[in-house]
Amino acid sequence: MLPRLDDTICALATPPGTGGIGVIRLSGPHAFAVADAVTKRPKDTPCRDYPGHTLHRARVIAAEGEAIDDVLLAVFRSPRSYTGEDVVEISGHGGPVPLRRILSRLLECGARLADPGEFTQRAFLNGKMDLAQAEAVGDAIAAQTDEAHRLARRQGEGRLSAAVAGVRNRLLGVLARIEASIDFPEDVGELDTQLCVSELREADRGIAALLATADRGILYREGLKLVLAGRPNVGKSSLLNALLRTARAIVTPIPGTTRDVIEETLNLRGIPLRAMDTAGLRDTEDAVEQIGVARTRESLVAADFVLLVLDATVGETPEDAALRASLEGRPHLLVWNKWDLVGGPPAPAPARRPPPRLVPRHPSPIGMGEGPVTQASDSGQARPPAVTGPSPGSAGEGCPTRAGWGPPGAIPVSAATGWNIGALEDAIADAVLGGLPAPTETHAAVVTHARHRRALEAARVRLADAQATLEAGLPADFLSIDVRSALSALGEITGETATEDIIHEIFSLFCIGK
């Protein structure tokens, strides 16, 4: 059910806790009256008499007359406000006690507590923004990297909405011709099928261009789950610390130190990664370690990407080989750790061959497709991962160790010294993105939501049906149904045809106060 718009809502708009300032937002038809009831203002001027977009000093008064807090009232008059309604924002001291008491007074005087995202939902319902722009508000708040924030800003500016509107306008023109040929055949004549085919193909190209941005756009918004796996004491915790540039995980020479999954978020070339250090995989009699190993296996099942860490001082063991075989067909990279401890001559230059490819195990919700493990050069040709600084060996066909040769494609690093960590990060980013530039560099409009991608795919199916209808020479009524279905699918993105359930689900993910 959509919320009522005839009542007045309030909520804390700043994070809970202690801060210099806390802001409580009040919106609705009685916002000014409620603000008047809880505050004392200079000359007792009613809020409705204040000009919009102005600040006024006031004092919040308890029911028994006690002064609760000195505040500033920001007055926004309908329709020139965030929600399109009369809005008052009360800025008080940012402690939990005064803000709680102010909020309680507002509730006593007729306001109700807002639902999650209800302010933005009212902005959408009052025509201040479309549904895609409303979603961008939540995306901007939740963004974990600069790239994710840039994409949210672009969507909030309406770039995706404009691209979708361009396709919809083209289809509306086609639908108008179809309907005219049905309703007024004597005036407009027969339907120009060649023109319709041309317009449908142009609309399909526009949708295809948007869908081409979806995999990477969704990746930048949602990120992925990166799991570090391997035998005990191969350096997984040290590698997590090296990637984070901080000592987050406990590191000791004792195998089995890590007993549980340790999760941290890091920014890798603009991609938000949930990096997870896991307990070493081995058979053990330790009951606590057994739980950690079980959680490691659960994490591997749910992982979007796996770093299989190998110990260069030991060589590839049968356990390593079994783990590597279990990852076939799944996005992963092999990491040859402790390279600083390896002696012996440098590795011979590897023979040139096509780089290994990552094959997704299933259509991922973040849209991760095939991509090269190796880096792409500026010319677009694949090359082995970069190795910086002096090195006793290099990545390629195999890495020499005291125990022999390593598996193909393993990337040598030293988590303890930080050597070649940058090359590993580049390899991860290239494997995930396929070596392509960030979507913000190549596309004005980028699809960042799986919901939008599903709607675009549905619209494209309907357009294919429409073209098949034309080719089969079926009546124009059938063609009209196909085009209307495509328009309905596109309308779900911007909200014209979104159901109440979809709207409620979207805004329920917002925080209260936004």
* Domain CATH code at residue 28: 3.30.1360.120
> Which domain range does residue 18 map to?
9-129
Please indicate, yes or no, whether residues 89 and 43 belong to a single structural domain of this protein. Answer: yes
Please indicate, yes or no, whether residues 269 and 354 belong to a single structural domain of this protein. Answer: yes
| pLDDT score, position 3 | 67
Greatest mean pLDDT range, 121-130, 262-271, 365-374 = 121-130
Please indicate, yes or no, whether residues 233 and 288 belong to a single structural domain of this protein. Answer: yes
pLDDT above 50: residue 85: yes
Please indicate, yes or no, whether residues 391 and 473 belong to a single structural domain of this protein. Answer: no
Please indicate, yes or no, whether residues 349 and 365 belong to a single structural domain of this protein. Answer: yes
The answer to whether residues 368 and 304 touch, using CB atoms and an 8 Å cutoff, is yes
Please indicate, yes or no, whether residues 143 and 198 belong to a single structural domain of this protein. Answer: yes
Please indicate, yes or no, whether residues 258 and 401 belong to a single structural domain of this protein. Answer: yes
Give the contacts of 514 (CB within 8 A, at least 6 positions apart): 13, 117, 119, 120, 137, 138, 141
What is the per-residue pLDDT across 454-501, written as a single tens digit (0 to 9) for each? 999 999 999 999 999 988 888 888 999 999 999 999 999 999 998 888
3-state class (DSSP) for residue 229 = strand
| pLDDT score, position 358 | 37
Angle at 38 between CA 34 and CA 39, to 5 degrees: 115
Please indicate, yes or no, whether residues 161 and 242 belong to a single structural domain of this protein. Answer: no
Alpha-carbon span 287 to 335, nearest angstrom: 29
The answer to whether residues 479 and 196 touch, using CB atoms and an 8 Å cutoff, is yes
What is the per-residue pLDDT across 229-282, written as a single tens digit (0 to 9) for each? 888 888 888 888 888 876 544 444 544 444 445 677 888 888 888 887 766 554
Is 411 part of any domain? yes
Closest CA to 106 of 64, 41, 60: 60
Instruction: Give the HSE-up count for residue 134: Cα atoms under 13 Å, Cβ half-sphere.
Output: 32
Element (H, E) at 49: none
Eight-class DSSP state of 422: H
Average pLDDT of the residues of the chain: 80
pLDDT above 70: residue 357: no
Residues 160-189 have a mean pLDDT of 88
Is 336 part of any domain? yes
Peptide bond into 79 cis (omega under 30): yes
Count of structural domains within the chain:
3
Please indicate, yes or no, whether residues 277 and 420 belong to a single structural domain of this protein. Answer: yes
**Tokens representing residue 455 in the block:** 């709607």
pLDDT tier at 514 (50, 70, 90 boundaries)?
A: confident
State which of 114, 129, 144 marks the end of a domain: 129
Closest CA to 76 of 31, 118, 120: 31
Residues 140-149 have a mean pLDDT of 90
Residue with token string 């749910």: 302
Residue 313's region, left for phi above 0, alpha for psi from -120 to 50, else beta, is alpha
Is 503 part of any domain? no
Angle at 305 between CA 436 and CA 331, to 5 degrees: 70
Q: Is 514 exposed, middle or buried (0-12, 13-18, 19+ CB in 10 A)?
A: buried
Greatest mean pLDDT range, 50-59, 299-308, 405-414, 497-506 = 50-59
Helical axes 159-183 vs 193-211, angle rounded to 10°: 160
